[in-house]
Structure 1
Amino acid sequence: MATLLFRLDNVPEEEADEVRRLLEQHGFDTFESRAGFWGLGVAAIWLRDKGDYEAAREALDTYQQGLAERVREERDALAERGEAPTLRRRLRHHPVRVLLVVLALSGVLTLTLLPFLGLIN
């Protein structure tokens, strides 16, 4: 029976390709399912042999720890160079976009709270 190994929801294609290569290099028999047009299915990588689950999970966990470390190092390097994304930097580079987001959030908040403000009186 197939066992769910790795969900592909909101996973960048580059990372999904790395996971596919990793599983292929270790010789795991896998297949993929897609979420489908309406998104009702499960987009995931499945392991065909349940007996390989522990070894596959260990390989995947090792990969994900390495990925987390690599991303942390990249983020720290950006912060050291002063290039890390911050609210101030976004406001400076995209003032119209930030203003539109703030206006949209204000509108949603107003529409959400308006019925409750009417109950105060």
Structure 2
Amino acid sequence: MPHHLMNLRHVPDDEADEIRELFERNEVSYYETPPSRWGISMGGFWVHDDDEAARARALLEEYQLQRQIKQRERYRQDLIQGNAGGIWYRLRQKPVTTVAASLAIAAIIFLSLMPFIRL
């Protein structure tokens, strides 16, 4: 029976490539189904064997822990260098886009609530 190891929806290409390399390096016999263009099927990494699934899950767990540490450090460095941040960073970097998106959000909220406000 197939075992689904990991969903590929919203997975960055570099992460998927690293997982493929991890499986190849550790000789995990896996197969991959790509996510659909319309978002209907999720795609993912699969194995057939129960023992192989347990081994692959252990490898994925260790990989995800290491990736989490690496990405948090990368984000911390970006914050220190001023390359990441919240709304104020985005407003300074792309003011027109940020203001346009904010106005669009406000208009959608207003139009959605207008029938209720008139009651």
Q: Same fold (TM over 0.5)?
A: yes
Amino acid at match of 1:52: E
1:12 aligns with 2:31: no
Q: Work out the CA distance in 2 between the residues paired with 1:37 and 1:87.
A: 31
Give percent identity, aligned residues only.
32
Alpha-carbon contact 2:35-2:41 (below 8 Å) kept:
yes
Q: Give the ranges of 4+ consecutive aligned residues of structure 1 lying more than 4 Å apart after TM superposition.
A: none
Alpha-carbon contact 2:8-2:35 (below 8 Å) kept:
no
C-alpha offsets along residues 45-99 of structure 1, whole Å, 9 cap, x if unaligned?
Answer: 1112122122111110100000000011111112223332332221112111011
Count of residues in correspondence between the two structures: 119
1:76 aligns with 2:68: no
Structure 1, 33-42 or 70-79: larger mean CA deviation: 33-42
Aligned-pair distance for 1:37?
Answer: 4.1
C-alpha offsets along residues 30-54 of structure 1, whole Å, 9 cap, x if unaligned?
Answer: 1111233443223111112122122
**SS of corresponding position for 2:60:** helix
1:39 aligns with 2:39: yes
1:115 equivalent in structure 2: 115
Q: Which runs of 5+ in 1 are unaligned?
A: none
Amino acid at match of 2:91: L
1:28 equivalent in structure 2: 28
Q: CA-atom RMSD, angstroms?
A: 1.4
Aligned-pair distance for 1:103?
Answer: 0.7
1:95 equivalent in structure 2: 95
1:86 equivalent in structure 2: 86
1:2 aligns with 2:6: no
Q: Work out the CA distance in 1 between the residues paired with 2:39 and 2:93.
A: 35
TM value normalised by structure 1: 0.90
